[in-house]
Amino acid sequence: MGALATITSKVRGRYRGLVLSVAALVLISGCYNHGCGCINVPVAVADEFFFQWNGEFHHHFDSVEYLWENSLLDAYVHFEGFDFSGSVRVDIYDGLNTLIYSGEFIGFGGYFEAKTVTGLGFFNPWYVVITSEDVSGNVTLTLD
């Protein structure tokens, strides 16, 4: 727990809770990959103004839905992948089950970055649906 205390003592302000959440997820995830990180185990972290989904993948196929309680009317969507190949589809629905964002990110083995904006969404919570098809590489999706 000393390492966790060292990490959090260096982080101030808004992201302190985020760092604690990520550290707790990593410590209790049960992923034992000899210190090389978890492969095909995405981590999702969210607060009122921020949602992040990331991981290291190797031929990953999955479809997951996250419930995101937020205070936003719209959000910036930032997708980044290193050595990214495959397809990641992101659909976001507001509390009325209206589709406010739909995007597909396709990589061919290199660096990939995309920045877009969602439509206006009303009523909490938002539903973030992420579908991965044969995804490899380090991938991060951020909504804020």
- Please tell me whether the peptide bond between 42 and the residue prior to it is cis, using omega within 30 degrees of 0: no
pLDDT of residue 17: 53
Instruction: Name residue, tokens 């210190």.
Output: 35
Return d(Cα 108, Cα 74) in angstroms, integer.
29
Among residues 115, 107, 101, the alpha carbon closest in space to that of 135 is found at 107
More confident residue, 26 or 125: 125
Q: Is the pLDDT reported for residue 118 higher than 50?
A: yes
Domain boundaries, the chain: 1-30, 38-143
More confident residue, 37 or 26: 37
> Lowest-pLDDT range, 3-7, 20-24, 47-51, 130-134?
3-7
Q: Which architecture characterizes domain 38-143 according to CATH?
A: Sandwich (2.60)
Digit-coded pLDDT (tens) for 36-94: 568 999 999 999 999 999 999 999 999 999 999 999 999 999 999 999 999 999 999 99
Q: What is the mean pLDDT of residues 112-116?
A: 95
Digit-coded pLDDT (tens) for 90-109: 999 999 999 999 999 999 99
The CA-based angle 96-63-111, given to 5 degrees, is: 105
Q: Is the pLDDT reported for residue 124 higher than 80?
A: yes
pLDDT of residue 65: 97
pLDDT of residue 123: 77
Q: What is the mean pLDDT of residues 116-143?
A: 94
Q: Kindly list the strands in the beta sheet with 76-93, ordered across the sheet, starting from the edge strand earlier in the chain.
A: 43-46, 51-68, 126-143, 76-93, 99-117
